[in-house]
């Protein structure tokens, strides 16, 4: 049984509770601090979750064209400002760091939040999306645990009358994300956090999180600029950069991640200059960062890194961090770590107490499920996979595909790999496939499908994905063999010539009816082609397929 699907479909409360209780103890064994061990608390949120379910949810339906641009087509930020005003402008009660960017926002937010927590600050952290529970999007206080159901219920019931009034005044147009963002900021104010680290949802200028004034913003961060949500953000890299630059506020420092195309960085710097905002770049010539090695301790991989920041222009920032053990893997995560470090130094420059030791510890203690996450052997075995390593990563853009391929080459350079892929309909499937096949040649690609944000409206069929991958194979001149739907062992039986040497050089392309079938097919291909040679199964294309695999661990 697919446990989480059963939980969400189950209308009988007693049976629903039993299903969750049956999984709670097993989830704790995973060791994740965010979400899984307290999933059963969501039962207490029925009224709140039902309320949200009736609101417009663009994560399920997809974002309208131009919605993230600062134009007539953009989201109505005035609506969000009016809602915040009715709630007493809670966002004015604390300082905030606002993070926008195509990739790396959540990881950078996690790194920075943990640095601040290590120093002893009470931190409100707001990110999206979530893997298991919507509570994962909010953390409050000295720990990174998801907000409790009790706290979320409390702020919801406190605000419900205002929300109802606002919904009536705004003709029912307030969205799921706007309500949840407003409640997060209200909770941060009620809990009197020292500082909030806030990830933008889409773009920046018209995003519901963009309600901070210059006096309340400690720093803005723009991590990267890529082509995701292209239609919603104006159709070009330039329009995306303009949309994300909307979080820059007058006189507030801007931290740039990168790397950026030169003309895109000029757009961001010009906007900062017009706002009299100092700019700090994680790619400043004085900064040095490197991955020195990779190690696995008790099945927990990490990369050993050095980070040196030495910036003279606009702001004088300096730190030397050696032998940092990052559990967030890949060169892209090292870059996110450098970006977060620059942001912490900006805060220190403004008078915030943040020691080098807290920055170092915060980096080392950061881990997010579904980002270059290697399952332990017992977890893989519980999925019926023996002798192969399973890697979960929510990559879904061409940039993140390249980063993931690079991470695989760094961690398991000689291991045969099989990809299991499912994607949302609004992603660039061809660019994703091209980038992967350019960076590595897998033994096989298994295509499947999963619901996106619990709905089918943005789901991409496996057959449609297969057409895209076939196009990528042909464009790149890579040989492949399409075995259709079914097991690899049956295909071998039906095709006696498939053991020939030439055939073994081709990448297998297949469709999996489900996550379970896809993993079994992947494992069968590795064993059939490579015998006892250890291989790696990479589950990717969306955080939603990652969530689905994790849900099956103890199903």
Same domain flag for 277 and 379: no
Q: What's the mean per-residue pLDDT of the chain?
A: 89
Same domain flag for 199 and 252: yes
CA dist 89 and 186 (Å) reads 8
Q: Identify the pLDDT of residue 503.
A: 54
- Cα distances (Å, whole numbers) of residue 544 to 132, 154, 344, 370: 10, 29, 31, 9
Secondary element (H or E) of residue 96:
strand 95-100
In DSSP terms, which residues pair with 256 in a beta bridge?
Answer: 222, 281
Domain tally for the chain? 2
CA dist 467 and 472 (Å) reads 9
In this structure, what CATH number is given to the domain that contains residue 270?
Answer: 3.40.1190.10
CA dist 435 and 468 (Å) reads 13
Residue 262 lies in a domain: yes
Categorize the per-residue pLDDT at 63 as very low, low, confident or very high, splitting at 50, 70 and 90. Answer: confident
- Answer for the pair 231, 62: CB distance below 8 angstroms, yes or no: no
**What's the whole-number mean pLDDT along residues 359-385?**
95
Q: Identify the pLDDT of residue 328.
A: 97
Q: Identify the pLDDT of residue 554.
A: 53
CA dist 547 and 530 (Å) reads 28
**What's the whole-number mean pLDDT along residues 491-510?**
64
Would you give the distance in Å from CA 323 to the centre of its chain? 26
What are the φ/ψ torsions at residue 428 (nearest 5 degrees)? Answer: -85, 90
Same domain flag for 336 and 398: no
Same domain flag for 269 and 383: no
Residue 299 lies in a domain: no
Give me the percent of the chain exceeding a pLDDT of 90: 76
Secondary element (H or E) of residue 303:
strand 300-311
- In terms of residue numbers, what domain contains 494? 373-554
In DSSP terms, which residues pair with 463 in a beta bridge?
Answer: none
Same domain flag for 425 and 527: yes
Residue 477 lies in a domain: yes
- Answer for the pair 242, 267: CB distance below 8 angstroms, yes or no: yes
Q: Identify the pLDDT of residue 436.
A: 94
DSSP code string of 524-552:
HHHHHHHTTS-EEEEEES-HHHHHHHHHH
Give me the percent of the chain exceeding a pLDDT of 70: 89
pLDDT of 38 over the 70 cut = no
CA dist 162 and 54 (Å) reads 17
Q: Identify the pLDDT of residue 60.
A: 86
CA dist 193 and 188 (Å) reads 6
Please identify which residue in the block is written with the tokens 């994560």.
59
Same domain flag for 430 and 339: no
pLDDT tens sequence across 265-275: 999 999 999 99
pTM: 0.90
Same domain flag for 65 and 174: yes
- Answer for the pair 176, 55: CB distance below 8 angstroms, yes or no: yes
Please identify which residue in the block is written with the tokens 């961690």.
411
In this structure, what CATH number is given to the domain that contains residue 432?
Answer: 3.90.190.20
Q: Identify the pLDDT of residue 484.
A: 84
């Amino acid at each position: 049984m697919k446990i989480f699907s059963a939980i969400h479909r189950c209308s009988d409360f007693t049976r629903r509770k039993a299903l969750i209780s049956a999984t709670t103890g097993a989830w704790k064994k995973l060791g994740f601090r965010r979400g899984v061990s307290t999933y059963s608390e969501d039962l207490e949120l029925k009224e709140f979750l039902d309320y949200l379910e009736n609101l417009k949810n663009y994560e399920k339906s997809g974002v309208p064209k131009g919605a993230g641009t600062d134009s007539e087509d953009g989201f109505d930020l005035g609506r969000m400002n009016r809602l915040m005003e009715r709630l007493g402008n809670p966002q004015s009660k604390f300082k905030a760091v606002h993070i926008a960017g195509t990739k790396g926002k959540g990881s950078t937010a996690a790194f920075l939040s943990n640095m601040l927590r290590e120093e002893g600050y009470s931190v409100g952290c707001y990110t999206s999306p979530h893997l298991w529970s919507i509570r994962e999007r909010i953390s409050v206080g000295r720990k990174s645990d998801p907000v409790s159901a009790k706290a979320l219920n409390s702020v919801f019931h406190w605000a419900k009358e205002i929300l109802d009034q606002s919904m009536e005044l705004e003709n029912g147009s307030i969205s799921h994300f706007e309500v949840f963002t407003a409640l997060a900021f209200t909770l941060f104010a009620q809990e009197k956090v020292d500082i909030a680290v806030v990830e933008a949802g889409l773009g920046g200028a018209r995003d519901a999180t963009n309600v901070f004034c210059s006096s309340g913003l400690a720093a803005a961060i723009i991590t990267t600029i890529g082509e995701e949500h292209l239609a919603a953000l104006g159709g070009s890299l330039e329009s995306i950069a303009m949309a994300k630059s909307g979080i820059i506020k007058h006189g507030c420092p801007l931290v740039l991640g990168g790397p950026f195309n030169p003309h895109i960085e000029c757009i961001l710097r010009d906007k900062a200059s017009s706002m009299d905002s100092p700019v700090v770049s994680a790619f400043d010539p004085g900064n040095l960062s490197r991955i020195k090695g990779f190690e696995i301790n008790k099945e927990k991989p990490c990369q050993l890194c050095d980070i040196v920041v030495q910036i003279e222009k606009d702001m004088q920032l300096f730190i030397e961090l050696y032998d940092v053990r990052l559990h967030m893997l890949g060169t892209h995560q090292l870059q996110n770590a450098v970006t977060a470090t620059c942001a912490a130094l900006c805060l220190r420059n403004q008078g915030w107490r943040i020691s080098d030791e807290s920055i170092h510890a915060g980096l080392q203690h950061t881990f997010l499920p579904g980002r270059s996450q290697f399952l332990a052997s017992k977890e893989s075995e519980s999925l019926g996979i023996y002798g192969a390593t399973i890697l979960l990563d929510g990559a879904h853009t061409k940039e993140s595909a390249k980063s993931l391929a690079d991470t695989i080459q760094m961690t398991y350079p000689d291991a045969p790999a099989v990809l299991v892929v499912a994607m949302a309909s609004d992603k660039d499937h061809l660019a994703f496939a091209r980038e992967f096949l350019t960076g590595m040649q897998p033994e096989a690609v298994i295509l499947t499908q999963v619901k996106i944000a619990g709905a089918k409206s943005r789901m991409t069929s496996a057959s449609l994905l297969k057409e895209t991958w076939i196009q990528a194979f042909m464009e790149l001149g890579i040989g492949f063999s399409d075995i259709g739907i079914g097991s690899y062992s049956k295909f071998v039986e039906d095709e006696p010539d498939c053991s020939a040497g030439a055939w073994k050089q081709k990448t297998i392309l297949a469709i999996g009816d489900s996550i379970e079938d896809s993993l079994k097919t992947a494992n069968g291909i590795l064993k059939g082609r490579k015998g006892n040679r250890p291989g790696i199964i990479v589950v990717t294309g969306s955080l939603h397929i990652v969530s689905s695999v994790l849900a099956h661990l103890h199903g």
